[in-house]
């Protein structure tokens, strides 16, 4: 047990800040051993606060306070109290300047929060509570201040000195040092502060906004990565144009900067005018970057850019409102990606993530509403629920109001709250005000956790032509919420005749626990196509027959539901095989499925990207989420059986598709059509390899050796490594290593592919990789590749029956917790799902959680996850 139990913070305790900070002037002296920070804060009493209170500033216990003065008068130790991350000064005037000098050790900051060093450069990460690791400040998002920042550093080592806003002055200083001053005219919370100092190269471009403002665009990276910045630049310009066209939002500074850093806890950060990115989310080059990574770069660049309005100009009142900026911004970036690429494929990918990982979160011990009610460590709440489910909630508003009213609502929201720190309630209120609708019931999406379930049945009267849909909704209990009230949600649907003709299509609105919808003049019993486009983040049950699903797979006019019909059928057949395997009976592959897939493979008119989605079996993780009690081995065996059966039954079709796609792909380009061709081609190769036949191994080897792009090369590598062809797999891994050992991001893939190899001996392999020079436990990307790859992608081996995988993970968590608590807490997720497994594994997983709980001095991050998991 921890020496001191961290305590929880509650939404209901929110109080407006007692003090305001109108201006903040910072001066950083960056040195090799330390950094000195002088902060001058113009502070005054907040007239909106309830009562006068002592001045309370937040500052981590680890920063050294060197000097503190008020209006030039130095304070002595008895003038203030410092304890538990707080500095309290009881006697202050109504309005004053506070100056404070702190000393930090960025070189020793392994948590990567606050000011730290990534390779040779200084950088910061202040969201959510990193600023208090730099200086004393009311480090909360509802205190907004105008920042001026001066950076002073050695000119040779750190020729580039960046901060938020516009550069306003610069010069040389003694001892080979130089300085630059930056001014950000827009008031912002401290979590959006950033600085970067280093020897960086850049690509530069410019953008003219709709109203004619000239903006300099600069993307910085280490010199060796200069050839990998073009895609991010194009994506940025596309995002800027899109936000003007779709939301009427323009950029508001003279300069927009992105900096790529190798050591970063998350994907990227939207600091005002100075985004800091994990290299994995900004660098892209055909030879070193896969299609999936190209698309991720486009999406993340856009996401951070869109935050300039949804997050920065209008920010969050407190961290319980995190989804206000994240849910809305994810919705915006998803729509942007849909417009830039294939809309249906984007939707399929997003829904797959939601169903696999967010539904699992919603059913686990860390389940929380989109607007959580309490937290111990806010970093643990940058979750799929806040981001992805939050985006689904915004999407439902878009569906319920329609695009025009939604746009009016967003215009009103931005106009009404520009420069303010607000709540999710304010967002919904703007939507209510433009539509005249009462969204009070809809607000339950923000306050209730858990995934709702819709149960649908139907009735048809041939004589009257009347068809009825009976819909009931429920939501399972979640931590602290035993009973749920019904939700307000859009149920997009259509009715199809047996031959596939569409009879009608509508958006039904659900508000009651049980509701009946009537359709008149229906000539024959229809097949319902329900929850089109996944119009609400729910689980839907309707007793489809296999025949009906096959018909929808062929004819549904909604592309998403075509795919979903195929998935439902595959899930059903896979679940039957899982059960057969458990009973020791032979498994079978349904002929109807083979025939349907053959039809799809032979139809040359279909979009290859869509076919690739249709012919992908649901993942083991997804099947696990759907199981009553997870039997990892049974799920793996059933899926492997089906994959092999479909591979062999359709071998000549897979080959024909492979050849067709290969012939159609020209030189590499990351556009949607070419990506689609490559994804179908590599899926075909996966099935060919799954036949276990030698000629296809040769085909993969050829692709590995001859391809001009990382997508094809890596697909071939991972297929062979994950196949039974062990020797060739090892050979290709070695060749790949020799070819790419100097590309850190490629080496992450090399680690991840090996970590997810489910062949026997997996644990020994990852243990030995953890000692490989390519691995660096201080780098979160390496940890995610190796530890995340093994525990999240190699389910069979992580869940080895002897519990060795669990012990290995717990050992790592305990070691990492002292170094980087945020990453440690995140990597812990697989163990938190222990209740979902059969008794033997359940007990072994729980033992490891208990072992962690019994350890002294856990971080608040890991303590929160472990303690909540054990409840």
Q: Which residues are catalytic?
A: 304
Least CB distance to ligand 0A1 at residue 71 (A): 35
Query: Which lies closer to ligand 0A1 via its Cβ, residue 133 or residue 303?
Result: 303
Task: State the DSSP code for 162.
Answer: E
Query: Which lies closer to Zn ion via its Cβ, residue 300 or residue 601?
Result: 300
Q: What backbone torsions phi and psi does residue 679 show, to the nearest 5 degrees? A: -70, -35
- Is the distance from CB of 351 to CB of 389 less than 8 angstroms? no
**Alpha-carbon dihedral sign for residues 570, 575, 577, 581:** positive
How far is 101 from 133, CA to CA, in rounded Å? Answer: 13
Pairing between strand 86-89 and 95-104? unpaired
Query: Which lies closer to Zn ion via its Cβ, residue 329 or residue 529?
Result: 329
Token digits of residue 246: 């779709």
Choose one: 260-268, 336-344, 598-606, 736-744; the region binding ligand 0A1 (CB under 6 A).
260-268
How far is 764 from 523, CA to CA, in rounded Å? Answer: 64
Cis bond upstream, residue 295 (ω within 30): no
Choose one: 265-273, 355-363, 652-660, 663-671; the region binding ligand 0A1 (CB under 6 A).
265-273
Query: Which lies closer to ligand 0A1 via its Cβ, residue 6 or residue 479?
Result: 6
Least CB distance to ligand 0A1 at residue 147 (A): 18
Query: Which lies closer to ligand 0A1 via its Cβ, residue 111 or residue 552?
Result: 111
Query: Which lies closer to ligand 0A1 via its Cβ, residue 270 or residue 625?
Result: 270
Query: Which lies closer to ligand 0A1 via its Cβ, residue 127 or residue 291?
Result: 127
Least CB distance to Zn ion at residue 327 (A): 9
How far is 600 from 582, CA to CA, in rounded Å? Answer: 31
Query: Which lies closer to ligand 0A1 via its Cβ, residue 112 or residue 617?
Result: 112
Number of residues that bind Zn ion (CB under 5 A): 2
Least CB distance to ligand 0A1 at residue 301 (A): 11
Residue from 24, 125, 190, 711 touching ligand 0A1 (CB under 6 A): that is: 125
Asked if 757 is part of the footprint of ligand 0A1 (rule: CB under 6 A), the reply reads no
Report which of 256, 277, 269 is spatially closest to residue 207, judged by C-alpha positions: 256
**Angle, nearest 10°, between helix axes 726-740 and 744-755?**
160
Asked if 382 is part of the footprint of ligand 0A1 (rule: CB under 6 A), the reply reads yes
CB neighbours of residue 172 within 10 Å: 10
How far is 193 from 204, CA to CA, in rounded Å? Answer: 23
Least CB distance to ligand 0A1 at residue 204 (A): 24
Number of residues that bind ligand 0A1 (CB under 6 A): 14
Q: How far is CA 347 from the centre of its chain?
A: 15
Least CB distance to ligand 0A1 at residue 281 (A): 9
Question: Interaction with ligand 0A1 in 307-326: which residues (CB under 6 A)?
Answer: 326
How far is 255 from 167, CA to CA, in rounded Å? Answer: 9
Asked if 302 is part of the footprint of ligand 0A1 (rule: CB under 6 A), the reply reads no
Asked if 269 is part of the footprint of ligand 0A1 (rule: CB under 6 A), the reply reads yes
Asked if 496 is part of the footprint of ligand 0A1 (rule: CB under 6 A), the reply reads no
Query: Which lies closer to Zn ion via its Cβ, residue 106 or residue 311?
Result: 311
Tell me how far CA of residue 239 lies from CA of 236, 292, 306, 310, in angstroms.
5, 18, 8, 14
Asked if 298 is part of the footprint of ligand 0A1 (rule: CB under 6 A), the reply reads no
**DSSP E strand stretches across 31-125:** 35-45, 55-58, 64-70, 73-74, 81-83, 86-89, 95-104, 114-118, 121-125
Asked if 379 is part of the footprint of ligand 0A1 (rule: CB under 6 A), the reply reads yes
Report how far apart the first and last C-alpha atoms of the chain are (Å, whole number). Answer: 14
Residue from 257, 268, 384, 866 touching ligand 0A1 (CB under 6 A): that is: 268
How far is 22 from 351, CA to CA, in rounded Å? Answer: 43
Query: Which lies closer to ligand 0A1 via its Cβ, residue 265 or residue 561?
Result: 265
User: Residue 379 touches which of ligand 0A1, Zn ion, none (CB < 5 to 8 A by kind)?
Assistant: ligand 0A1
Query: Which lies closer to ligand 0A1 via its Cβ, residue 232 or residue 630?
Result: 232
Report which of 315, 317, 337, 335 is spatially closest to residue 326, judged by C-alpha positions: 315
Query: Which lies closer to Zn ion via its Cβ, residue 329 or residue 820?
Result: 329
Q: What backbone torsions phi and psi does residue 587 show, to the nearest 5 degrees? A: -90, 160
Token digits of residue 126: 């202040």
State which H helix or E strand residue 149 sits in.
strand 144-154
Choose one: 6-14, 242-250, 268-276, 339-347; the region binding ligand 0A1 (CB under 6 A).
268-276
**Torsion angle of alpha carbons 227, 233, 235, 238, nearest 10°?**
-150
Least CB distance to ligand 0A1 at residue 398 (A): 20
Choose one: 34-42, 59-67, 204-212, 262-270; the region binding ligand 0A1 (CB under 6 A).
262-270
> Closest CB to ligand 0A1 belongs to which residue?
266
Choose one: 209-217, 267-275, 506-514, 850-858; the region binding ligand 0A1 (CB under 6 A).
267-275
DSSP 164-198: SSEEEEEEEETTTEEEEEEEEEEEEEGGG--EEEE
Least CB distance to ligand 0A1 at residue 265 (A): 5
Asked if 270 is part of the footprint of ligand 0A1 (rule: CB under 6 A), the reply reads yes
How far is 301 from 281, CA to CA, in rounded Å? Answer: 8
Question: Interaction with ligand 0A1 in 809-848: which residues (CB under 6 A)?
Answer: 822
Choose one: 65-73, 229-237, 259-267, 844-852; the region binding ligand 0A1 (CB under 6 A).
259-267
- Is the distance from CB of 813 to CB of 848 less than 8 angstroms? no
**Torsion angle of alpha carbons 88, 90, 95, 96, nearest 10°?**
-60
Asked if 350 is part of the footprint of ligand 0A1 (rule: CB under 6 A), the reply reads no
Least CB distance to Zn ion at residue 307 (A): 6
How far is 387 from 327, CA to CA, in rounded Å? Answer: 5
Least CB distance to ligand 0A1 at residue 264 (A): 7
- Is the distance from CB of 846 to CB of 344 less than 8 angstroms? no
Pairing between strand 81-83 and 35-45? unpaired
How far is 783 from 90, CA to CA, in rounded Å? Answer: 45
Least CB distance to ligand 0A1 at residue 822 (A): 6
Q: Which residues of 270-288 are buried (b: 16+ CB within 10 A; e: fewer)?
A: bbbbbbbbbbbbbbbbbbb
Choose one: 239-247, 266-274, 287-295, 741-749; the region binding ligand 0A1 (CB under 6 A).
266-274
How far is 132 from 138, CA to CA, in rounded Å? Answer: 8
Asked if 304 is part of the footprint of ligand 0A1 (rule: CB under 6 A), the reply reads yes
Q: Which residues contact 402 (CB under 8 A, 6 or more apart)?
A: none
Token digits of residue 397: 């508003």
Query: Which lies closer to ligand 0A1 via its Cβ, residue 310 or residue 665?
Result: 310
User: Residue 712 touches which of ligand 0A1, Zn ion, none (CB < 5 to 8 A by kind)?
Assistant: none
Provide the 3-class DSSP secondary structure of residue 121.
strand
Asked if 266 is part of the footprint of ligand 0A1 (rule: CB under 6 A), the reply reads yes
Question: Interaction with Zn ion in 306-335: which residues (CB under 5 A)?
Answer: 326, 329
How far is 637 from 586, CA to CA, in rounded Å? Answer: 11
Asked if 127 is part of the footprint of ligand 0A1 (rule: CB under 6 A), the reply reads yes
**Contact footprint for Zn ion (CB under 5 A):** 326, 329
Which residue ranges make up the site for ligand 0A1 (CB under 6 A)? 125, 127, 265-270, 303-304, 326, 379, 382, 822
């Amino acid at each position: 047990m921890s020496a001191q139990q961290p305590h929880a913070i509650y939404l209901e305790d929110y109080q407006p800040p007692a003090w305001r900070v109108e201006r903040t002037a910072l001066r950083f002296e960056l040195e090799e051993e330390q950094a000195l920070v002088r902060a001058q804060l113009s502070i005054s009493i907040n007239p909106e606060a309830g009562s006068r209170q002592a001045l309370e500033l937040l500052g981590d216990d680890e920063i050294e306070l060197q000097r503190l003065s008020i209006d030039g008068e130095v304070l002595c130790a008895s003038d203030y109290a410092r304890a538990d991350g707080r500095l309290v000064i009881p006697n202050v005037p109504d309005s004053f300047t506070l100056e404070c000098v702190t000393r930090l050790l960025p070189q020793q900051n392994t948590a990567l929060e606050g000011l730290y060093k990534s390779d040779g450069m200084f950088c910061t990460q202040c969201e959510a509570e990193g600023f208090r690791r730099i200086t004393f400040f009311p480090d909360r998002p509802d205190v907004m201040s105008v920042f001026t920042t001066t950076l002073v550093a050695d000119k040779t080592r750190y020729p580039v000195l960046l901060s938020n806003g516009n550069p306003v002055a610069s010069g040389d200083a003694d001892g080979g040092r130089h300085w630059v001053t930056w001014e950000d005219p827009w008031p912002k919370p401290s979590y959006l502060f950033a600085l970067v100092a280093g020897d960086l190269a850049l690509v530069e471009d410019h953008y003219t906004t709709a109203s004619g403002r000239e903006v300099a665009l600069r993307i910085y990276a280490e010199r060796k990565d200069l050839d990998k910045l073009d895609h991010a630049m194009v994506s940025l310009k596309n995002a800027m144009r899109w936000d003007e066209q779709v939301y009427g939002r323009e950029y508001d500074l003279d300069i927009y900067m992105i900096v790529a850093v190798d050591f970063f806890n998350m994907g990227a950060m939207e600091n005002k005018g100075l985004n800091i990115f994990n290299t994995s989310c900004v660098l892209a080059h055909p030879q070193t970057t896969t299609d999936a990574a190209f698309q991720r770069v486009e999406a993340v660049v856009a996401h951070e850019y869109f935050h300039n309005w949804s997050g920065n100009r209008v920010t969050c009142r407190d961290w319980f409102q995190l989804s206000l900026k994240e849910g809305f911004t994810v919705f915006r970036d998803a729509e942007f990606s849909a417009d830039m690429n294939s809309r249906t494929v984007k939707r399929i990918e997003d829904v797959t993530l939601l169903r696999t990982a967010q539904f699992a979160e919603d059913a686990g011990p860390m389940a929380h509403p989109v607007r959580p009610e309490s937290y111990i460590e806010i970093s643990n709440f940058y979750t799929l629920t806040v981001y992805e489910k939050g985006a689904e909630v915004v999407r439902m508003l878009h569906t319920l109001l329609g695009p025009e009213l939604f746009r009016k609502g967003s215009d009103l929201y931005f106009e009404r709250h520009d420069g303010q720190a607000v709540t999710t309630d304010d967002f919904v209120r703007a939507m209510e005000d433009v539509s005249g609708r009462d969204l009070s019931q809809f607000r339950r999406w923000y306050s209730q956790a858990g995934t709702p379930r819709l149960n649908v049945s139907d009735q048809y009267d041939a004589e009257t032509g009347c068809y009825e849909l009976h819909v009931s909704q429920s939501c399972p209990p979640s931590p602290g919420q035993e009973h749920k009230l019904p939700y307000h949600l859009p149920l997009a649907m259509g009715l199809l005749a047996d031959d596939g003709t569409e009879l009608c299509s509508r958006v039904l609105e659900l508000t009651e626990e049980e509701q009946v919808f009537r359709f008149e003049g229906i000539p024959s019993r229809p097949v319902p196509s329900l929850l089109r486009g996944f119009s609400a983040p729910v689980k839907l049950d309707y007793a489809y027959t296999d025949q009906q699903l096959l018909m929808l797979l062929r004819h549904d006019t909604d592309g998403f539901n075509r795919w979903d019909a195929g998935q439902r059928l595959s899930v059903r057949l896979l679940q039957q095989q899982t059960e057969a395997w458990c009973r020791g009976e032979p498994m079978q592959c349904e002929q109807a499925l083979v025939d349907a897939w053959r039809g799809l493979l032979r139809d040359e008119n279909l979009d290859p990207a869509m076919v690739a989605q249709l012919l992908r079996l649901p993942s083991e993780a997804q099947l696990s989420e759907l199981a009553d009690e997870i039997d990892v081995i049974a799920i793996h065996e059933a899926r492997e059986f089906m994959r092999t059966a479909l591979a062999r039954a359709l071998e000549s079709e897979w080959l024909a598709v492979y050849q067709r796609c290969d012939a159609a792909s020209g030189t590499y380009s990351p556009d949607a059509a070419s990506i689609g061709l490559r994804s179908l081609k590599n899926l075909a190769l996966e099935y060919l390899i799954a036949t276990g036949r030698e000629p296809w191994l040769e085909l993969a080897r050829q692709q590995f050796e001859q391809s001009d792009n990382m997508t094809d090369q890596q697909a071939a590598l991972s297929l062979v490594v994950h196949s039974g062809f062990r020797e060739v797999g090892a050979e290709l891994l070695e060749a790949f290593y020799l070819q790419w050992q100097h590309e850190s991001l490629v080496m992450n893939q090399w680690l991840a592919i090996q970590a997810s190899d489910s062949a026997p001996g997996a644990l020994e392999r990852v243990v030995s990789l953890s000692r490989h020079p390519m691995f660096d436990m201080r780098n979160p990307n390496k940890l995610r590749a190796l530890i995340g790859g093994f525990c999240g992608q190699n389910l069979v081996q992580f869940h080895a029956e002897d519990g060795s995988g669990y012990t290995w993970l717990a050992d790592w968590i305990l070691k990492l917790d002292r170094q980087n608590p945020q990453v440690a807490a995140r990597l812990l997720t697989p163990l938190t799902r222990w209740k979902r497994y059969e008794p033997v594994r359940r007990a072994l997983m729980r033992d490891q959680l208990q072992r962690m709980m019994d350890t002294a001095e856990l971080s608040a991050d890991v303590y929160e996850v472990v303690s909540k998991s054990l409840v």
